[in-house]
Amino acid sequence: MIFLRPSIPLRTSLRSSHVCPLPTPSRTLRTLPPRLFPSPSQPTPTTLPSPADPQVSRESFLLRHLPARLRPYWFLSRIDKPIGTWLLYWPCAWSITLASAATHQPLHVPAAYCALFGVGALVMRGAGCVINDLWDRRIDAKVERTKLRPLASGEVRPFQALSFLGIQLSAGLAVLTQLNWYSILLGASSLSLVALYPLMKRITYWPQAVLGLAFNWGALLGWSAISSPPAWSVVLPLYAGSFCWTLVYDTIYAHQDKSDDVHAGVKSTALLFGHNSRPILAGFSTAFVGLLAAAGWAAEASLPFYLVGCGGAAAHLAWQLRGVDFESRVDCWSKFCSNARLGGIVWAGTVADYAVRVGPELLG
């Protein structure tokens, strides 16, 4: 099971759940431990981004009590910004719940697999961030929003990051081995996409497409974990729809850095679409909702799936694209974060479908 995460703005101590917070006026300065910098030639960044930065919010309780020498790894794996974990997790949860409804699984089955995939999403999204930052550490140093990331600033050296990555991948493998053999092989097959994504922004204006292929692998894997091989008539449109959704939210995300990206030589769909971003993303949003409905039709989903899941997703995307200000970093970040709620709305539709189709059996 491969979990990846889109590169997310640095050191936001984000949202206690999946709601993107507004900037907060206070922030504790963090002095870095001297032992992380054995070379006197390396500059030592001494503080986090200014509290005026709209992407900075309060440190979490866990971070305040974390030993100083471990804090760089907290930021390296983006635990302070769980939006990436949510976006990685939701296609898994949709697939698991749809499969459980279609195969009439007892409640403990989807509950257990949703929890297991949640752990996997947290671990492997962090691993994806480390891989991304290893590739991009020189580019990140040229971009205002990312120049204080641990690898870009020299706070963590590449060897230390690779060692940390080994720990993360070992934890991800431990999660993957809890699944059936078909799912283990299916999960492992996405490794090439994981490695390719950070390279794509150097050679194509469509790195978001590669991210979408890798980031939504859980749409295939979730059903496979419940019943293998998966029902391809369901999971392929679900995967394709999730891919379109990723193009929407990650293009909005990429608009934050478009001016810096030009100077750094980084490509993105934000630069490619330019002033046409709104109508193009509306097209991808329509495709997402349509493919989501097609997956539900193939799974013989009940009416609540379409009303809550598909209808709610359509309304949320319309709100995003009508209101997003592509020239405002603050608003792009806020709209990007709101997609965690969109994923929850779709999942609520799959849960309602499960309740309608399996609930009477559980109660009877």
The whole-number pLDDT of residue 154 equals 86
Judge whether 44 and 156 are in contact, CB under 8 Å.
no
pLDDT at 265: 83
Distance of CA 283 to the CA centre of its chain: 21
Which residue in 11, 18, 140 sits closest to 79, CA to CA? 11
CA gap 314, 318 in Å, rounded: 6
Q: Which residues contact 53 (CB under 8 A, 6 or more apart)?
A: 23
What is the pLDDT at residue 48? 42
**pTM value > 0.85:** no
Element at 270 (helix H, strand E): helix 269-273
pLDDT of residue 177: 93
Torsion over CA: 132, 133, 138, 144 (sign)? positive
Per-residue pLDDT of the chain (364 residues; tens, 9 = 90+): 444 434 434 333 333 334 444 444 443 334 444 333 334 344 434 334 433 333 334 456 677 778 888 888 888 888 888 999 999 999 999 999 999 999 999 999 999 999 999 999 999 999 988 988 888 888 888 777 888 888 888 888 989 999 999 999 999 999 999 999 999 999 988 878 877 888 898 899 999 999 999 999 999 999 999 999 999 999 999 999 999 999 999 999 999 989 888 888 889 999 999 999 999 999 999 999 999 999 999 999 999 999 999 999 999 999 999 999 999 999 999 999 999 999 999 999 999 999 999 988 888 7
147 phi/psi in degrees, rounded to 5 = -70, -20
Torsion of CA 298, 299, 300, 301, to 10 degrees: -120
> On the CB side of 234, how many CA atoms lie within 13 Å of its CA?
28
Q: Are 350 and 98 in contact (CB under 8 A)?
A: yes
Interatomic CA distance for residues 271 and 262, integer angstroms: 8
